[in-house]
Chain A
Amino acid sequence: MNAPVHAAEPAIEVRRLAKRYGAVTAIEELSFAVPRGSITALLGGNGAGKTTTLAILLGVLLPSSGEARVLGIDILKHRYRVLPRMNFGSPYVELPKRLTVRENLAVFAQLYGVRDATKRIAALAEELQMGDFMNRPTGTLSAGQKTRAALAKALVNRPEVLLLDEPTASLDPDTGDWVRAYLERYVAENEATILLASHNMGEVERMASLVLMMKAGRLVDRGTAGELLAKYGRDNLEEVFLDIARDRRKAEKETVA
């Protein structure tokens, strides 16, 4: 039996999650909940544990301890019940280059069991303005076109939960802005949930209704962008990020003392 879905239940819930590789700790005592219909950002420097967290939520990394539930289903025990309702995008995991965009989407539509795949692919081609390059090999596309193709793959099954790892990395500001606007519209129209790992502070400030600040595998702070700015007394999230990454507030207090 599938777990019943309750509207108030978070889309993603993580409790005391830990991942250790021998003596190295990737994440420790990680607990958070991502509300349904929200865009939540995992923010942190390199090695903070963002990608590790996403990999556990996708079921391709086994944690050392803790619990992780997606749409009310234990991802560690029943990942195949929930994977059809999720999807994933990352500039570091690519689509086969020799296949055309249309062929790639047809393959993933079939993998995810999309009903009327041809119609869904045509709709995505229109929404993501991919008409000009649907029949071109994915390896011949520009960075912006590749991003749109990857986004189409991530949305092919109309996921209720979308996990994105640096969705606008290496994009020019115009394309980046276009992608962000599209994702915001997708969430609003489909009541979907996005958890994104990002280094882009502007992106997080604009999109995320909840920001989870990570450092050295731990969750060090959380709140809306506004709450974090107020708490740290800063004008932008980049400053907050640097405060946390460099322990600047602690250092400032020590200097004053």
Chain B
Amino acid sequence: MNDGLGFAAPEREWGFSLRRTSAIVLRHYYLLRSSWARVLELAYWPVINMTLWGFMTVFLVGQSSLFAQATGLLLAAILLWDVLFRSQLGLGLAFLEEVWSRNLGHILVSPIRPYEYIAALFVVALMRVLIGVGPAALLAWGLYDYSIFTLGLPLLVFFVNLVVLGWAIGLAINGLILRFGLGAESMAWMALFVLAPICGIYYPLSVLPEWLRWIAYAIPASYVFEGMRAVLIEKTFRVDYVVVAALLNLVYIAGGVAAFLYCFRAARRRGLILQIGE
């Protein structure tokens, strides 16, 4: 906003600006557009995973009545896990790109509010999920004749829940990077794998020991994967699972935002923002 003199007019302290949020999205669009290697990297592992587990499914269908009955069980699980992982990693990488390029200081001394920046990270993470998982979904359809869209409307609900959980975990990790610097960078790649054995991606929660099952019940993704199996095996959409997942996600996303904002304030107190990346 410029006045007649060309100087910017004073602004309100609070308020949400789509313009500032979309500026960050634009920055990441430019980055991806300029780097085919980054785009390739986004799609690479989901496609490799899909190829591997796709052939495994072809084999298992001939061996097991369960897989013959629900062909897409493994493939849907792989795709949905990738949605969660790419969402968390996408949010982490969107932030790390600023740290690596030593540009975070420029962004955080601009008028963008932390919550606008967080919203921009959400959009960029979603972009990365679609670029990453889209080709794997197409491959499953082309190579194994399995369309993830056969899950129907529940797919959208599962997708949203997993994306939001990825955002929440990604934000908390970004907070740690802001507070502890690049020493915490590996968390962006590792953190989510703690959940992998617990949240029942490939098997029902009933196979877990009881004490571990209680932990699984506190993870929104557990309800999504149980819900996915209910759709594919029992042909029923368990609304109760989705409601619990959504409620838990509200807690997780609030926690993720709070953790990021807390670490942002801690970084301001400790003078870390202009130094980060060094």
B278: chain A residues at CB < 8 Å are 92
Tell me whether B19 and A110 are in contact (CB under 8 A): yes
Tell me whether B274 and A92 are in contact (CB under 8 A): yes
Tell me whether B106 and A153 are in contact (CB under 8 A): yes
Contact of B6 among A60, A93, A158 (CB under 8 A): A158
Alpha-carbon distance between A82 and B12 when the two chains are bound, in angstroms: 9
Tell me whether B271 and A61 are in contact (CB under 8 A): yes
A58: chain B residues at CB < 8 Å are 109
Provide the A154-188 mask, 1 if CB < 8 A to any CB of B, else 0.
00011110000000000000000000000000000
Tell me whether A96 and B97 are in contact (CB under 8 A): yes
B2: chain A residues at CB < 8 Å are 113-115, 157-158
B12: chain A residues at CB < 8 Å are 80-81
Contact of B106 among A21, A85, A86, A88 (CB under 8 A): A88
Tell me whether B27 and A80 are in contact (CB under 8 A): no
Interface status of B30 (Cβ within 8 A of chain A): yes
| Stretch of A30-38, A101-109, A223-231, A247-255 at the chain-chain interface | A101-109
Tell me whether B109 and A111 are in contact (CB under 8 A): no
Tell me whether A84 and B34 are in contact (CB under 8 A): no
Residues from 1 to 58 in B contacting A, C-beta threshold 8 Å: 1-2, 6-14, 17, 19-20, 22-24, 26-27, 30-31, 34-35
Interface status of A90 (Cβ within 8 A of chain B): yes
Tell me whether B102 and A99 are in contact (CB under 8 A): no
Given the known interface contacts A84-B1, A98-B35, the answer about A92 and B102 at a Cβ–Cβ threshold of 8 Å is yes
Tell me whether B8 and A112 are in contact (CB under 8 A): yes
A122 vs chain B, min Cβ distance (A): 15
| A19 to chain B: closest residue by CB | B271
Residues from 227 to 278 in B contacting A, C-beta threshold 8 Å: 265, 268-271, 273-274, 278
| A163 to chain B: closest residue by CB | B109
B269 vs chain A, min Cβ distance (A): 5
Alpha-carbon distance between A96 and B38 when the two chains are bound, in angstroms: 15
A78: chain B residues at CB < 8 Å are 13
Alpha-carbon distance between A212 and B98 when the two chains are bound, in angstroms: 33
Contact of B103 among A82, A86, A93, A106 (CB under 8 A): A93
Interface status of A51 (Cβ within 8 A of chain B): yes
Provide the A32-72 mask, 1 if CB < 8 A to any CB of B, else 0.
00000000000000000001100100111110000000000
Tell me whether B271 and A137 are in contact (CB under 8 A): no
Tell me whether A61 and B268 are in contact (CB under 8 A): yes
Contact of B20 among A92, A111, A153 (CB under 8 A): A111
With an 8 Å Cβ cutoff, the count of chain B residues facing the other chain is 45
Interface status of A94 (Cβ within 8 A of chain B): yes
B26: chain A residues at CB < 8 Å are 106-107, 110
| Stretch of B110-118, B153-161, B168-176 at the chain-chain interface | B110-118
Alpha-carbon distance between A90 and B105 when the two chains are bound, in angstroms: 10
B204 vs chain A, min Cβ distance (A): 45
Tell me whether B270 and A21 are in contact (CB under 8 A): yes
A106: chain B residues at CB < 8 Å are 26
Alpha-carbon distance between A144 and B271 when the two chains are bound, in angstroms: 29
A59 vs chain B, min Cβ distance (A): 7
Q: Top 8 A-B pairs ranked by shortest CB distance? A: A110-B23, A93-B105, A2-B10, A84-B8, A60-B273, A83-B111, A111-B110, A111-B23
12 additional A-B pairs beyond A90-B105, A96-B98, beta carbons within 8 Å, are A51-B274, A61-B273, A78-B13, A81-B10, A84-B111, A96-B31, A98-B34, A107-B24, A111-B111, A111-B112, A112-B110, A160-B7
Interface residues of A (CB under 8 A from B): 2, 19, 21, 26, 51-52, 55, 58-62, 73, 78, 80-88, 90, 92-100, 103, 106-108, 110-115, 137, 153, 157-160, 190
Q: Can you report 12 residue pairs joining A to B where beta carbons are below 8 Å apart?
A: A81-B10, A82-B10, A83-B11, A83-B111, A88-B106, A90-B274, A94-B101, A94-B103, A110-B19, A110-B20, A111-B107, A115-B2
